[in-house]
Amino acid sequence: MLADRSDDGPEGRLQAIEARLAQLEAKVARLRATEPGPRFAAIYPGFQDRFRGSEADITAKLSAYLPDVDRLVSTGGVVDVGPGRGEWLALLAERGVSAHGVDTHRGLAEACRGKGLEVVLADAATHLSALAPGSVDMVTAFHVIEHLGVEELIELIDSARRALRPGGCLLFETPNPTNLIMGACDFYNDPTHRSPLPPDLTAYLISAHGFRDIEVRHLHPKKVVEDDDKVGVHLYGPQDYAVLGLRED
């Protein structure tokens, strides 16, 4: 939104408009530079089936977050950024939790709608900024932030903070580059990924933009290894991690 520059007269308002246009032009340029194009977008649902895992597998993994939902979510509900095939939204619907998704991929959004799930076709940060401030209990994004540049990620964090109520939860899950196989190889199976995000960096960005009680969870090891087996931990340990933070009051 444009800042209120009514006291500055026409010249001040014009400067505010020009500044906002420059921001939008820069954002469009970043998106054009990173989008893989329509050919890859057309096969992306099949790509997810091949590389993300089956819907049953993903549903089982996401079920681990249901205790957080039971603890933190009430009437404000959940906004899920980039719901993909809709596994998380379906879990929440089964739980009786009010939730909707927001996605820029028309095909995935329509597939979710075909399952009876509510998905808005829009840019996530723009959508969150348009919601009533402090109206949401939880904002989630599973394997989304690795597709964003740092400025886009900070914009998403800021817009989520605005939408969340005090004490509301922001939850990001993303590939774990401290797993060397993930960080050096598997991460790049998806050409729409930007760059791996170390857990400490993600936790810092969230804490630096209005969130407290930051928790990092290391998830989905390839196999169980002893903690003192440093090589084994870095090769076969957690392939993903999640960061949770609560909006400051």
Q: Which helix (H) or strand (E) holds 173?
A: strand 164-175
Residue 96 has what pLDDT? 97
Residue 107 has what pLDDT? 87
Within 10 Å of residue 233's Cβ, how many Cβ atoms? 18
Residue 4 has what pLDDT? 46
For residue 38, pLDDT over 50 is answered with: yes
Predicted TM-score (pTM) above 0.85: no
Rounded CA separation 48/54 (Å)? 9
> Does residue 242 sit in helix, strand or coil?
strand
Contact criterion met (CB below 8 Å) for 172 and 81: no
Query: Which region among 48-52, 76-80, 148-152, 205-209 has the lowest average model confidence (pLDDT)?
Result: 48-52
* Confidence category of residue 41, pLDDT binned at 50, 70, 90: confident
Tell me the per-residue pLDDT of 222-236, one tens digit each, with 9 for 90 and over: 888 888 888 998 999
Q: What mean pLDDT comes out for the span 44-49?
A: 74
Rounded CA separation 95/193 (Å)? 31
Tell me the per-residue pLDDT of 134-177, one tens digit each, with 9 for 90 and over: 999 999 999 999 999 999 999 999 999 999 999 999 999 999 99
For residue 12, pLDDT over 80 is answered with: no
> Does residue 118 sit in helix, strand or coil?
coil
> Does residue 219 sit in helix, strand or coil?
strand
Residue 21 has what pLDDT? 74
Within 10 Å of residue 39's Cβ, how many Cβ atoms? 7
Max CA-CA distance within the chain? 67
Tell me the per-residue pLDDT of 61-90, one tens digit each, with 9 for 90 and over: 999 999 999 999 999 999 999 999 999 999
Beta bridge partners of 216: 243
Contact criterion met (CB below 8 Å) for 238 and 176: yes
